[in-house]
Structure 1
Amino acid sequence: MSNHNKSTAAACPDTKFAIGGYSLGASVTDIAIGIRTYLGTGQTIPTELAPRVVAVIAFGNPLGLYGQTIKTASSTYGPKSLEFCNRGDTVCGGTGTGPGYGHLGYATDGSVDQAAAFIAKQYTAS
């Protein structure tokens, strides 16, 4: 993810980014923005590109198992983040307020539409 952002940023200097993932992909997103996860660490998006990342979205993020969210774990990306953890989703700790759809419900519970609206708002505001 970090390499893709770097190469795209170099080729397209006016591009803004919305990044994110579901489940393991959310962990990859965490690593890309510099949050240590149970998977360890990896390459992060360079600090100079952080202003071009306008939104960070996570669905079923395992970071929740450790009592964290992107908002609490990253002062840089937290204000730009939106996370979904359904009640009953044991992958992210299941403490969310969404309906009890569990880990497989994000595609049909309205979360994707909420994420798209958030990304559009973030792009417009930046």
Structure 2
Amino acid sequence: MLSSARPAPTCRPPPRAPTSRSSPHAATGKRRGSRTNRVTSMAADCANTSFIPGGCSQGGSVTDSVLGIRTRPGSGRVIPAGLADRVKAVVVFRNPVCGNGSNGAAHMTYPLNGSVEQGARFAAERIDQG
């Protein structure tokens, strides 16, 4: 497990808006603009904050989109280029389900197969490097 030796941030993001479960792909499209707005707002309010965007499955698609990477469900507004040096890492979890695969349970393995801890270590190392 990762230790919690880092001090708590003084600048916190606003609470996450509720999302609809009725249409996950529609929600993914809505989240693209929401994520961009959130990062842009937090960057303005918290000048010393670094960012580590990430996501699992559709959240990974949203992350790609706000970074300017086109995905199958489409694209969205990207975070401003002036914030690029504040993005210290990107952690995305995906599997073939997102590409029309058939193993929906694969998403549940991320916390069990070490992927989550590996992603957290990767992100922590990038923050430590400045």
Match of residue 32 from structure 1: 66
SS at match of 1:109: coil
Structure with more strand by fraction: 1
Match of residue 98 from structure 2: 91
Contact 2:54 2:92 survives alignment (8 Å): yes
Match of residue 123 from structure 2: 119
1:48 equivalent to 2:77? Answer no
Give 1:93 shift.
Answer: 7.6
Match of residue 15 from structure 1: 49
Give 1:27 shift.
Answer: 0.2
- Under a length normalisation based on structure 1, what TM-score does the superposition of the two structures give? 0.68
Match of residue 107 from structure 2: 103
Unmatched tracts of structure 1, length 5 or more: 61-84, 95-100
SS at match of 1:104: helix
1:123–1:50 distance in 2 versus 1, CA, 3 Å: same
Match of residue 59 from structure 1: 93
Instruction: Tell me the C-alpha RMSD between the 2 structures.
Output: 1.7
Unmatched tracts of structure 2, length 5 or more: 1-34
Identify the structure with bigger relative contact order (alpha carbons < 8 Å, sequence gap 6+). Answer: 2
> Deviation per CA, 1:11-34, whole angstroms, max 9, x where unpaired?
010100111000000000000000
Structure 1 residue ranges, 4+ long, deviating more than 2 angstroms after superposition: 89-94, 101-104
Distance of 1:55 and 1:36 partners within structure 2: 18
> Partner amino acid for 1:107?
P
> Partner amino acid for 1:22?
C
Distance of 2:80 and 2:40 partners within structure 1: 8
Q: Aligned residues: percent identity?
A: 43
